[in-house]
Amino acid sequence: MSRRHRPTPRVLTTLTALMTVGVLLAGCGSDGDDDTSSASDGGCATENTSDRDKVNLIPIPPVKVTVTGFGNGERRVPAATPDRDSAQQATVVTTSSVASAGSAQAQTVDLPLTARFHCTDPTDLEMDLGTVTSPDPTLNDQLAPAAGGHAGMAIAPGLVPISLRLMPTDSSGPEARLAIEQAMIGAFTRSVPLPTVPIAVGATWRAERVISAAATVTQTIEAKLTAWEGNRLTVTYTVDESPINSVFAIPGGNQTLTIARYSFTGNGTETVDLTRGLPVDGAATYRGARELVGADASQRLLQQTGFTLTWRSR
C-alpha cells in the first residue's frame, strides 16, 4: 500500500473501532455498584436494573416483522411463556474483525450470562455477568474485573429486544466496558424476532430495522422456521445490511467520509426456547467490505469486515 493510500492513524483507529460493532457506542457510562446484584427469588429476579442510578441505557433499534409464508400444518402463535422456576445459563461469543492493506484486527469476547425473568414483569430480563474472557491476553486481563457485573433488557412480543441496560462493576476499565457493550449490542441488534401471529413449520418472514451508527444502514433478515418441538423453535436466516445514504461520520468531530461501495451479508441458525429470554443455541457468520473516500478522491480506504456470533447453553 503506497503512502498516499494509507489513512492517518487517527482515522484508521476510529474506523477500526466502528467496524467491530453494528451500532456506534460511546462507552459504558458511569461505574456500576459491586454490591448490587440481580436479587432473585428462586428462578426469577425481584429487582430491576432500571431502578439503579448507575445504569447505562442503550436503546435497540425497533424492528418490523412481515410474514411472507405461514407454513404447513397447525398454526400457533410463538408466544413467550417465561420460566420463573430456574435461571437460564447461556454464553454468547462474538468476534469482530476488520482488515485493510497492511492491517488486520480482530476482537473476540466470550460472555457467560445468567438470565432471569422478573418475578412480576414478563417484559423484563435481568442478567448477571460471569467471568468474561478473550483469547487476546491484553483484553483478557482487562475483562477479568468485569465478572459480577449486571445487565437488564426490555423485551417485546416475539422475544424482540427493545433496550439494554448495562451496569458494570466499579473495577471495570473503559476497555472492558466497551468490549462488553460491543459484544452485547452486536448480538442483540442481530437477533431474529419471531412473528406475533399464528405460524407453522416452514413459515417465512422478513424483519427490517434501521441501525444508526457511523453509517446508517437498513438491516433485512429473511427467516424460516425449520423446526418446532415443544417450546423450542429453530430458525435459519440470511441477513443483508445496506446503507441508506453515502455519509460515513467520523466520531469526535464534524468530519465525514463518503461511502463509495458497501456490502455486509450473513447467514445463520438460531434456536429459541419460548420459556427463556436468550437464544439457547445458534451461530451466524457475516462478511462484508466497504470503500470510503475523503476530500482527496485518490485516497481511498478499502476495508474487509466480519462478524461471527455464537449462542450456547451452559
Instruction: State the pLDDT at residue 102.
Output: 87
Closest among 189, 286, 185, 279 to 240, alpha carbons compared: 286
The structure's pTM equals 0.86
Q: State how beta strands 103-117 and 124-129 pair.
A: antiparallel
Give me the pLDDT at residue 53, please: 78
- Report helix, strand or coil for 146: helix
Strands (E), 101-183: 103-117, 124-129, 150-156, 160-167
Are the beta carbons of 88 and 13 closer than 8 angstroms?
A: no
Contact 116/40 with Cβ under 8 angstroms? Answer: yes
The Cβ-side half-sphere exposure at 288, using a 13 Å CA radius, reads 25
Positions of the chain with pLDDT under 70: 1-41, 251
Res 295: pLDDT: 87
Contact 258, 211 (CB under 8 A): no
User: Looking at residue 37, what is its pLDDT?
Assistant: 46
Q: What is the dihedral of CA 252, 256, 259, 260, to 10 degrees?
A: -140
- Predicted local confidence at residue 1, as pLDDT: 38
Domain span holding position 285:
3-313
Domains contained in the chain, number: 1
Helix/strand/coil for 144: helix
Exposure of 6 by Cβ count < 10 A (0-12 exposed, 13-18 middle, 19+ buried)?
Answer: middle
| Residue with cell string 430456574 | 86
Please report, for the domain that includes residue 151, its CATH number: 2.30.230
Task: Quickly list DSSP for 181-244.
Answer: HHHHHHHHTT--PPPSS-B-TT-EEEEEEEEESSSEEEEEEEEEEEEEETTEEEEEEEEEEEES
Beta pairing, strands 40-41 & 204-212? unpaired
Q: Among all chains, which residue has been given the C-alpha cell 484508521? A: 12
Look at residue 31 in the predicted model and tell me its pLDDT. 40
